[in-house]
Amino acid sequence: MIEVIIYLSSGLFLGWSLGANDAANIFGTAVGSKMVKFSTAALIMTIFVILGSVVSGAGASHTLGALGQVGTLPAAFVVAFAAAVAVSWMTKLSLPVSTSHSIVGGIIGWNLYSGYATDLSVLREIVGAWIFSPVLSAFFAVVLYFAFRKWLNNARVHLLQLDFYTRWGLLIVGAFGAYSLGANNIANVMGVFTGIMEIPAYNLSIFSFSGAQQLFLLGGIAISVGVVTYSKRVMLTVGSNIMDISPIGAFIVVLASSTTLFVFASAGLKDFLIMLGLPSFPLVPVSSSQAVVGAVLGLGLAKGGRNINFKLLGKIGVGWILTPITAAVISFILLFFMQNVFIRSVV
Amino acid sequence: MPHILFGRSKELEIEITEYLDLVNQGALTFKRDLKRYVQKDFELFEESLTDIKKIENNADEHQKDIKYKLYKYMLIPESRADVLNIIEEIDTITDLAKEVIYEISIEKPVIPAGLESDFLELVENSAEAVDMLVKCVRAFFEEISQVNDYVNKVHFYEHQADKNEERLKRKIFSDQCEEIEIAYKLQLRYFIEEIAALSDQAEMVSEDVSVAAVKRRI
């Protein structure tokens, strides 16, 4: 039992750092500009991250399993640990980093070490989703911007009422954002463990929690601990950095990026689109930070801005390439140590 | 819970509307009183002297209440600061109007013959600038796209008042009024500047409203 907890700890640490960093993508502007109290934001985040993880976390997790089914618990520990190390290291170097990119690198590292061929079609699907997600997020932001502008011009809402709506709107999209973050990114935290650990389903009178869902619950709690213990300072930095975004702008950015995360996580939406004969989105963990950057760029474009920050775009590209490679290398080296120094089977 | 909070924002909305009504009434009363004085209807002028004081007191009460409610109820912090600033600055106008009327009642300056229409024009333009400012602030709350139109109108009337002010001063200090003692001339200059100050203050507030409106864009 203790060994299992130790093995899970790397995933939980990854969850903690996800909560500490990514909560700011959802509530950063609202808390940083004092529109929403941190305690309120943390409470909403906690509830909805856990809900999203448990209810909708399976889809993106399944895709990670298809990329490479890490075979043993020590190996899963190493993969998640390598991802966590890569995230911490690159954060320290001030490079934009995402647990989604990192965990994929970790899994590929395991594939390389164990000699399993990486399913290239799945990898293509994942990388495609990474590239497409900021673009989609920008698109959503543009559409929302024009829709809201039209509504504001026609509806003649009193400024005080508008502030009232905006504040509640930020709370509601914050809840949606937290749900989507949990649904999409819980795969990074617990995805490598779900295929290995045999946990019996837990039956409550109406609900039944599968083994994977119990792991997702644990991961969701780890994310929440990250939110409560560490995200405040990140939020205050984000809030003061992007103050030139108006409150309604912040609402649009959060809604656009959360919708992006949601479409890459919701199996229900995927089935619905397939039923309608429309192209569906693969269920892939994507980066919430990049979705936010995409939305901010989209908003800037819609407002007629011509100054696209190419440096920022370049950094996103670096994130796609450098993070997985770093994680893969770390994963490969640590697997070697786990196998040969700690004498634990990793294949 | 939302409807309770929503009710509160409605309460504040009504309070602000009433406050702006009072600022408007202040400007109208200011115009009426000065007209009576310039036309030498001194009896009526003194009779209605307390009107402007009542309006000013009432506006002060509203202003205090609005400040309190702005802090107590839901409002986005940044827009709270903007609204507070506008409300405080606009209050200066009503104070100024009351001050001018009361000082005229105390000092009883003599308006030189032949300058009445110039005085009335100055009063008219200054009061009109305030009227446009009130419309501008209402637009800021209710229809933000109209703010700039009103800001331009405030500028226009302020500019007219400036011209009136200069013309009057030139006439007073010219040969046309050589029989008037310098002390009286200086007293007149003081009142001309005070009357024109209303439009200056209106212009300053309209600038603040214009900036606050830009910040409100998505």
Contact B77 A161 (CB under 8 A): no
pLDDT in tens, B138-149: 999 998 889 999
The answer to the question of residue A243 being in a domain is yes
pLDDT in tens, A97-135: 788 989 999 999 999 998 888 888 999 999 999 999 999
The answer to the question of residue A296 being in a domain is yes
B171 — pLDDT class (breaks 50, 70, 90): very high
pLDDT in tens, B11-31: 888 999 999 999 999 999 999
Q: Between 2.40.30.10, 3.40.640.10, 1.20.58.220, 1.10.10.10, what CATH number should domain B3-217 receive?
A: 1.20.58.220
Instruction: Among A35, A156, A252, select the one facing B218 at the smallest CB separation.
Output: A252
Number of domains comprising chain A: 1
Q: What is the pLDDT of residue A118?
A: 87
- Enumerate residues 6+ apart whose C-beta is below 8 A from B184: B109, B110
Contact B2 A168 (CB under 8 A): yes
Q: Closest-CA residue in chain B for A169?
A: B2
Residues of A in contact with B83 (CB under 8 A): 159
What predicted TM-score, i.e. pTM, was given to this entire model? 0.84
Chain A to chain B, count of Cβ pairs less than 8 Å apart?
Answer: 59
Query: In the Cβ-directed half-sphere of A174, how many Cα atoms lie within 13 Å?
Result: 27
Q: Are B9 and B73 in contact (CB under 8 A)?
A: yes
Q: Is a pLDDT exceeding 50 seen at residue B160?
A: yes
Write out chain A in H/E/C secondary structure: CHHHHHHHHHHHHHHHHHHHHHHHHHHHHHHHCCCCCHHHHHHHHHHHHHHHHHHHCHHHHHHHHHHCCCCCHHHHHHHHHHHHHHHHHHHHCCCCCCHHHHHHHHHHHHHHHHCCCCCHHHHHHHHHHHHHHHHHHHHHHHHHHHHHHHHHHHHCCCHHHHHHHHHHHHHHHHHHHHHHHHHHHHHHHHHHHHCCCCCCCEECCCCEECHHHHHHHHHHHHHHHHHHHHHHHHHHHHHHHCCCCCHHHHHHHHHHHHHHHHHCCCHHHHHHHHHCCCCCCCCCCCCHHHHHHHHHHHHHHHCCCCCCCHHHHHHHHHHHHHHHHHHHHHHHHHHHHHHHCCCCCCC
How close, in Å, is residue B210 to chain A by CA atoms? 14
Contact B9 A247 (CB under 8 A): no
Contact A161 B12 (CB under 8 A): no
- Structural domain span for residue A144: 1-341
ipTM attached to this prediction: 0.78
Residues of B in contact with A34 (CB under 8 A): 77
Query: Which of A87-96, A201-210, B9-18 has the lowest average pLDDT?
Result: A87-96
How close, in Å, is residue A153 to chain B by CA atoms? 8
Q: Closest-CA residue in chain A for B17?
A: A158
Q: What is the pLDDT of residue A239?
A: 54
Q: What's the distance, Cα to Cα, between the start and end of chain B in Å?
A: 27
Contact B5 A145 (CB under 8 A): no
Instruction: Among B76, B140, B144, select the one facing A167 at the smallest CB separation.
Output: B76
Contact B217 A246 (CB under 8 A): yes
